[in-house]
């Protein structure tokens, strides 16, 4: 009996997940390879981050830290929905913790995106909103904006809406930027949250946005 297309898609996705999980392309990482990502064939929202942080590496799942708490608040998502790969895909530019430099975490390793990104995106044909977080993700997904300061590129969001949105990294390190640019929480995030509800249903958790 021939294999149906949905079954074949699930098989291909499972194979890709296994390959990424077993990846040792960057063997010299300070904590060793441990790809952290979340993909599902039915996902309608894609979150593109930088690379896992040290705490995320140890936890073994994306955004399992203070940045994740703030990101879920920004998007209006509860924990269960955020962790559902059939609703939310999380595909950082680098899948493994890259190590720490003098001013914070190092950039995502350059080997990762060319090796895996196109294949992973092909397996998620239902993506209707891409949430782009940070400079490295911006350079890949929104290269036409990469020469602009972050706030300026963000203010031009209607030209890319409703298929993509650029956000700052939700790290506590950026709290000063959040305070200087509170317009994005008061003016932009309600629009983003409404789009999230539109795409995945009224399962968003209502919570007060906070710094």
For 177-190, how does the pLDDT look when each residue is reduced to its tens digit (9 = 90+)?
Answer: 999 999 999 999 99
User: Is residue 139 in a domain?
Assistant: yes
For 146-157, how does the pLDDT look when each residue is reduced to its tens digit (9 = 90+)?
Answer: 999 999 999 999
14 and 41 Cβ atoms separated by less than 8 Å: no
The CATH number for 115's domain is: 3.40.470.10
Q: What is the spatial distance between Cα 93 and Cα 169, in angstroms, rounded to a whole number?
A: 13
User: Is residue 205 in a domain?
Assistant: no
Count structural domains, the chain: 1
State how beta strands 104-105 and 164-167 pair: unpaired
Which domain covers residue 122, as residue numbers? 5-200
User: Is residue 206 in a domain?
Assistant: no
Q: What pLDDT is attached to residue 208?
A: 39
User: Is residue 207 in a domain?
Assistant: no
Residues lower than pLDDT 50 in the chain: 1, 3-4, 204-211
User: Is residue 208 in a domain?
Assistant: no
Q: What pLDDT is attached to residue 189?
A: 97
User: Is residue 95 in a domain?
Assistant: yes
For 30-46, how does the pLDDT look when each residue is reduced to its tens digit (9 = 90+)?
Answer: 999 999 999 999 999 99
User: Is residue 190 in a domain?
Assistant: yes
Confidence (pTM) = 0.91
- For residue 57, CA distances in Å to 19, 32, 51, 205 come to 18, 10, 10, 26
């Amino acid at each position: 009996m021939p294999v149906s297309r949905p079954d074949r898609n699930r098989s291909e996705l499972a194979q890709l997940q296994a390959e990424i999980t077993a990846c040792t392309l960057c063997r010299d990482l300070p904590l060793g390879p441990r790809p952290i990502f979340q993909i599902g064939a039915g996902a309608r929202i894609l979150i593109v981050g930088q690379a896992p942080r040290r705490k995320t590496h140890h936890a073994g799942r994306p955004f399992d830290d203070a940045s994740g708490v703030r990101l879920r608040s920004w998007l209006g998502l509860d924990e269960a929905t955020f962790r559902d790969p059939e609703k939310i895909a999380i595909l950082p530019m680098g899948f493994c913790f890259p190590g720490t430099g003098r001013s914070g975490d190092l950039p995502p390793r350059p080997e990762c995106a060319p090796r895996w990104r196109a294949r992973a995106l092909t397996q998620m044909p239902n993506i209707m909103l891409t949430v782009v977080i940070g400079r490295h993700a911006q350079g890949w997904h929104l290269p036409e904006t990469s020469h602009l300061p972050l706030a300026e590129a963000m203010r031009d969001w209607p030209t890319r809406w409703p298929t993509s949105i650029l956000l700052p990294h939700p790290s506590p390190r950026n709290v000063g930027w959040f305070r200087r640019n509170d317009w994005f929480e008061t003016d932009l995030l309600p629009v983003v949250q409404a789009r999230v509800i539109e795409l995945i249903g009224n399962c968003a958790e209502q919570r007060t946005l906070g710094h």
